[in-house]
A = this chain, B = another copy of it.
């Protein structure tokens, strides 16, 4: 049976512009808000046109010792300079980056999944341990 697992691509985000980067700017603490930066194309910008763009990033969390994965959030980038005057003439486009904030009760692994409308699914992960 076919599986999505076979189709999720991985690579080094410094070389491959599709890979979502996950960053924490401060040490994570149990039960306190943790700021998470998610970005596609941080080192090498990805195109952002109606024909080729990053559509979304999803963030998951796998707590240590738990069986089930938790879906934390979805961040959708909907504007890519589309316009009634033609592609790339629109008045707005979004950058495929967000900062969000989560509260974790256990250490574990953050996993980001992103989607390019022509280059498919890409993932990355970041280990989160609490400072004592």
Contacts and interface: CB of A to CB of B under 8 A. Distances in A.
Interface residues of A, number: 66
Q: Which secondary structure dominates where chain A touches chain B?
A: strand
Contacts of A118: 68, 82-84, 90
- How many monomers of this chain does the complex have? 4
Nearest to A110: B2
* Residue from the set A5, A61, A97 with the largest chain B CB neighbour count within 10 Å: A5
Contact of A92 (B2, B67, B103): B103
Interface of A: 1-5, 7-8, 10, 33, 50-52, 55, 60-63, 66-79, 82-84, 86-87, 90-95, 97-106, 108-109, 111, 113, 115, 117-121, 123-125, 127
